[in-house]
Chains A and B, each alone.
Chain A
């Protein structure tokens, strides 16, 4: 599996899990479908960005830092839209970015070398 696809899938899965946990917050339960979809899209975007980065840069440390940064940034944007819950949104968002950053550096293969 290539790194971009790996990032996309992992971001989507973790994003969906992220969104589904909102069900345990009573006041958010009514909007659970929108939250899950939004969170999954956020995860996919983060996963693709981190996957592309992993394709270009082969460094575990930089991959983790980039993943964390992207996860936090996207989560911050979502928190801004929600007008609150910064901690509850940004901590898991950053964590998802970190995991995807690690996974895309450690696993998945890069672009195939072209023979000249």
Chain B
């Protein structure tokens, strides 16, 4: 029997990966990205005439219950209706037997690609908007567990979307037993920054909390707070949080303190919620004291002056004018 060349084999493999969309309302447009156990395709919804993203499991995906996990991710997304979370439209099984999930196709850039164009204040505002859907999900008992710059998309009109809830875990509000099952859910796509694996340790190195890295079962929303702090660190320094001690450089101390509090090794020392963390960010943006950073008298004076610069200058000019009047009156 004649051997096939590598090129032919690769071509055959690529053809095999093409999802069979016959019998569905979708037409394949192009490949978008691949993940640990599946791939994402751009498709056109022929009924509604719109472009959608299809997440399709690989044919040779390991494990027999990955389709169950994909559907579970779809159900999680369906229960999280929020402007900051890409909605799921449909889920099912293709003619070739592969499970798929149809979601909103988000055109834009990942956070990592986008932040280079933003100044400090805009970066902080983006972080506030990342925290909103996260806080929403936490309030409904879900933990994302794989927050990182690659999983945040900035849309063409500046909309901020938290993506890839494949590792999402049901927290305390869900029935017991659900947690463990979802804890081994779908692997997300990743870049070279980290490792995402299936099994006891899930997440991305550098953005994953210590308790998550240890494979602790008892993790809660504070693991996402750690990741949010890591994202903030990345947004402020431009480098992965693994380089934390050296990277901060000229980052203002209050912001550094916010990062450090969010990324505290002890979960009890972190912010209790994403909302609490963004409150500190908002305080910083408004020139107000930040709870994570006890400032000294000089720093406080400097901050107050910076915040009320015009008023201080006006009063100073008035007082100087008054003194000059007094001096001239005495002559």
Contact = CB atoms under 8 A, between A and B. Distances in A.
B1 interface: no
B322 A21 contact: yes
A26 to B, nearest CB: 8
Given A98-B314, A102-B314, A91 B329 contact: no
Contacts of A109: none
Interface in A1-55: 14, 17-18, 21, 24-25
Interface in B92-117: none
B310 A21 contact: no
Contact of A17 (B310, B311, B322): B322
Interface string B100-137: 00000000000000000000000000000000000000
Given A17-B322, A95-B321, A24 B329 contact: yes
Interface residues of B, number: 12
B7 interface: no
B313 to A, nearest CB: 10
A88 B311 contact: no
Interface string B249-267: 0000000000000000000
A18 B315 CA distance: 12
Interface of A: 14, 17-18, 21, 24-25, 88, 91-92, 95-96, 98-99, 102-103, 106-107
Given A21-B326, A99-B314, 10 more contacts: A17-B322, A24-B326, A88-B329, A92-B318, A92-B322, A95-B321, A98-B314, A99-B311, A99-B318, A106-B311
Interface of B: 310-311, 314-315, 317-318, 321-322, 325-326, 329-330
